[in-house]
Structure 1
Amino acid sequence: MVKHDSAYEFKTVLLLAVGFGLVGLDRWMVAPLFPYMMRDLGLNFQQLGNLIGVLAVAWGAWAIASGPISDRIGRKKILVWTMIAFSLLSSLSGLATGFASLMLIRGIMGVAEGAFTPASVAATTEASLPGRRGFNLGFQMSMFSLLGLGVAPILATQLLRVVPSWHWVFLISAVPGLIVAALCAKTLRDRPQTSFVAPSPHNRVKVRWGSIFANRNVAVAIAAMLCAMAGIFVIGAMVPTYLMAVLHFDAQSMGFVASALGFGGFIGSFGLSGISDYIGRKAAAIGAFAVAAVLLFAFSRTGANPMALFALLFGISMCSIGLLSLLSGPIAAEAAPAGLVASTIGLISGIGEMFGGGVAPAIAGYIAQNFGLPRVFDFALAGLVIGVFVASALIETAPRHKGTLAVSSDEPRQAA
């Protein structure tokens, strides 16, 4: 038995948490800068939705496909090279001269970020002491919201005060990623020493991929992910432009309000899954969808009040992004057949990303372009309301509630 390397665990979790945060930063930097890009490049709302959507589709596809690749060639190579790639591609966004070049750059960026995601989650899992895995993964995933939706609007709008144009904001964005990539190349190991021994390949039980759908919760979680992502991704893409074009906020006020998405999501990534341990996964999911819907309804009918809008957006994000972590984390893991946990999580999050994060913003862009920007909130609200009914079909799997279902942890999971 090899002694667990806690120092390596700490360094790995910290680096990959920052790396995943930079994924969010580079991905969402375009939203607060879009009003300026729209003016200079002659873009419209439909094209904003398409720019958000193309990255999400590429991300989802490669998140599903790249997991087996990282198992074969190791985590380190994928993590270092994909971080270099998406950092440089973010920088190249500042050199784009029109919509076509932006679409190409954002699509390739989605490939890099999608490949980075499962490898980073696997590397954190392998480096973590089993008793700290849940916390470490929650910390890592929460950085996406904190940096991508929280820091990005503030950073982008503040940089506009000191650099000549939005082009320079994108160019500067590559620097942190290249630094973290260099630290990962120096620090990460493909086969970290841990205090536990993996099962021998000769003892592995053969599993059928199709058995993923034996549990009803898998299909329900996929549908619920589409609803949650249609809510938060549409809001994340359109709110910055809505605040400036409809409510006539200046750049700094817009950045302040839009940052609520990240700070609320940061809290929700930890909080909702933790609450679900006590009240149950099903109740937590239904409650989060319902609360997010009520708050979004209020947000869409609130005038130019920065503090009120920040508070409402904070709550919407806390519930909606909390749902993403709940559905792709505990609910997915507890629904997965033995030996297919990673595949189940990848399937649920990947499909949700491609359609909820990819198609939904494109639809929202069409609605904004043809029916007015405020109408996109009706579309996002519909997704959240439908999510209440979808979540009601979940089978309860929280360990504290298993006694009421007469299912022990050693028995096969219920397949309804």
Structure 2
Amino acid sequence: MTPPPTPSADRYENRLLVMLFLAFGFVFFDRQALAFLAPYIDDDIGLSNAQLGMLSGVLALTWALAGMFAGRLSDRLGRRKPILIAAVLLFSLFSSASALATGFLGLLAARALMGAAEGAVLPMAQSLMAEASRPARRGLNMGLLQGSSAGLLGGIVAPIVVVRLAESVGWRTTFFVTILPGVVVAALIAKYVRERPPRRAAPVEDATPAESAAPAEGGVTVRQVLGMRNVVICMLIACCYLTWFVTLITFTPTYLTEEKGFAPGTMSGVMTCLGVAWVLWGFATPAISDRIGRKPALIGFTALAVCCPLAVVYVGDPVLLGALMILTYTGLGCFTLFMATIPAETVPRAALATALGVIMGVGELAGGFLGPLVAGWASDQWGLRTAMFIAAGGAVIVMALAVGLRETAPAVVRRATAKAVA
């Protein structure tokens, strides 16, 4: 049974999706910009591979800590909109501050501050989106917000725009330009986003498990959040899936050029296939999960994700490899499920931002910060293909962990309840 039409609530849902899509998309646009500007920065101030790795790692570290802090602060204050506006403005400002760096330390400080601002965006955005979404569209909306936005703006638009700007006006001016989209998006959020969405009449059976058994507002502790089975499992999944993602995205370009002998242009074409897959699976995976359930979707699409790093190792033809990348780079669609949708359907509203911040933060610390360090060390010892096997192993562990999840998709829970009653 679908909630009755409520034009005001539906219009707000769609408008909010557009604004948050842009907000998180530009987060990844700015996060990815450094990788594409690295050759130009290296020519100017000089960067070693180790320093480039530290720039990526420090952003993941501060991103993780900020996500956990902002989520808890938001739940304590009962406010998300002011934190989101501040985070969008600050990450744009600190991204532009990278242009002022005259050496590695200045760039490191700017990236650390940028990560601290960006880490607050996802918990705020996903908690706002979860509350405004119709149950039948919750997975799709959250997938578009987190997966497709990052894939489109960070994986496809960023390399094209950033490189062209760097070629025409230089890397410093390119960093300065990145402040403009953030200012525009922050203004839109300030004008149009509401702390609470318009009320939508919804049947009780369309409510999530968290909504059906939600306690009174406030008073939900971190210990209570960490006592929820789905939250703990999603946190462990985040550690393994971030290892899959960051290891794969970090070492694949080098593997293709050094181990397989691909020309830079060929390598770039294969990597673009990852951006295409990111956009497609970013919304397709959670949309499918709305119908078949979060748990089977997570297990099934992760099984495909296991194959992605293995294809990098064992497939030699670049055209076939690119096609397989599009088919098997499904993990970014799964990210929305364990980082946002399942927690949003598990915990009460008073603890939602806390849960999202903890899951994202722990995942970034273990998978985004430590994962590539371990993979890099192992690759120095036993060769680059070791990194690909580590990525595949992370996805295999995710499949095992996902078996323990409790299903939360409203339609699936409703069908199971009706079957049990019958």
Question: Normalising to structure 2: TM-score of the pair?
Answer: 0.80
Which of 139, 164, 170 is the matching residue for 2:175?
A: 170
Residues in 2 aligned to 1:95 and 1:367: alpha-carbon distance in whole angstroms: 35
Structure 1 position 299 matched with structure 2 position 312: yes
Mark the CA change 1:13 to 1:292 in structure 2 (over 3 Å): closer, same or farther: closer
Contact 1:44-1:369 at 8 Å conserved across structures = no
Aligned-pair distance for 1:106?
1.3
Contact 2:270 2:318 in 1 (8 A): yes
Q: Which residue of 2 aligns with 1:86?
A: 91
Structure 2 gap segments, 5+ residues each: 1-5, 203-210
Confirm or deny that 1:77 pairs with 2:89: no
CA change 1:38–1:250 in 2 (3 A) is farther
1:149 aligns with 2:155: yes
1:99-146, Cα deviation, whole Å (9 max, x unpaired): 322222111111111122222234444555676554433322231222
Match of 1:310 in 2: 322
Answer yes or no: is the 8 Å Cα contact 1:76–1:190 preserved in 2. Answer: yes
Q: Please tell me the residue identity of whatever aligns with 1:60.
A: A
Is residue 99 from structure 1 mapped to residue 111 from structure 2 by the alignment? no
Aligned pairs for 1:120-199 (under 5 A) are: 120-125=125-130, 133-141=138-146, 142-160=148-166, 162-163=167-168, 165-190=170-195, 193-195=198-200
1:48 corresponds, among 40, 46, 52, to 52
Could you give the per-residue CA deviations for residues 261-306 of structure 1, whole angstroms, max 9, x where no partner exists?
3321222232223333454433333332322222321212334x44
Query: Which residue identity lines up with residue 282 of structure 1 in the other structure?
Result: K
Shift of 1:217: 3.0
Question: Equivalents in 2 of 1:7, 1:151: separation in Å?
Answer: 27
Aligned in 2, Cα 1:171/1:408: closer, same or farther, shift over 3 Å?
Answer: farther
C-alpha deviation, 1:26, in angstroms: 0.5
Cα separation, partners in 2 of 1:11 and 1:272, compared to 1, 3 Å: closer
Pick aligned residue for 1:24 from 16, 21, 28: 28
* Deviation by residue 1:318-354 (Cα, 9 ceiling, x = unmatched): 2x11221121234333443685344333322221122
Contact 1:158 1:252 in 2 (8 A): no
Asked whether the 8 Å contact 2:243–2:371 carries over to 1, the reply is yes
CA-CA distance at 1:196 after TM superposition? 6.5
> Where does residue 287 of structure 2 map in the other structure?
274
Tell me: CA distance 1:213–1:47, structure 2 relative to 1, closer, same or farther (3 Å): same
* CA deviation profile, 1:371-396 (whole Å, cap 9, x unmatched): 55444223222212332333333344
Q: Deviations over 1:145-192 (max 9, x none)?
A: 2211232233334445x4254444333333322332333344444456
Unaligned regions of 5+ residues in structure 1, if any?
Answer: 411-416
Further displaced range: 353-362 or 103-112? 353-362
Measured at CA, do residues 57 and 315 of structure 1 come closer, stay the same or move farther in structure 2, by a change above 3 Å?
farther
Q: Which moved more, 1:373-382 or 1:331-340?
A: 331-340
Matched-pair contact (CA < 8 Å) for 2:61–2:369: yes
Contact preservation (8 Å) 1:46, 1:369: no
Contact 1:46 1:364 in 2 (8 A): no
The amino acid of 2:152's aligned partner reads L
Task: Name the amino acid aligned to 2:322.
Answer: F
Query: Would you say the 8 A contact 2:67–2:361 is kept in 1?
Result: yes
Deviation of 1:58 (Å)? 1.4
Q: Which residue matches 1:222?
A: 235
Q: 1:34 to 1:307 in 2, by over 3 A?
A: farther
Shift of 1:57: 2.0
Task: Report deviation, 1:18.
Answer: 0.7
Q: Structure 1 387/121 Cα, relative in aligned 2: closer, same or farther at 3 Å?
A: closer
2:143–2:285 Cα contact (<8 Å) kept:
no
TM-score by length of structure 1 reads 0.81
Whole-angstrom distance in 2 between the partners of 1:126 and 1:277: 16
Q: Distance in 1 between matches of 2:201 and 2:345?
A: 22
Cα 1:253–1:181 change in 2 (3 A) is: farther
- Give the distance between the partners of 1:337 and 1:126, measured in 2 at CA: 11
Q: Kindly tell me: are residues 130 and 283 of structure 1, through their superposed partners in 2, closer, same or farther at Cα, counting changes over 3 Å?
A: closer
Cα distance change, pair 149–68 in 1 and its aligned pair in 2 (3 A): same
Cα deviation for residue 207 of structure 1 reads: 4.3
Q: Separation in 1 of the partners of 2:31 and 2:363?
A: 17
User: Aligned pair 1:348/2:354, yes or no?
Assistant: no
Aligned-residue CA RMSD (Å): 3.7
Answer yes or no: is 1:390 the counterpart of 2:401.
Answer: yes
Give, as a single letter, the amino acid of the residue that structure 1 aligns with 2:110.
I
Paired residue total: 405
Q: Tell me which amino acid in the other structure corresponds to 1:230.
A: T
Alpha-carbon offset, residue 259 of structure 1: 2.6
Tell me the equivalent position of 2:207.
none
- Taking the aligned partners of 2:319 and 2:180, their CA distance within structure 1 comes to 32
Contact 1:57 / 1:355 at 8 angstroms: preserved in 2? no
- Supply the AA of the counterpart residue of 2:157: V
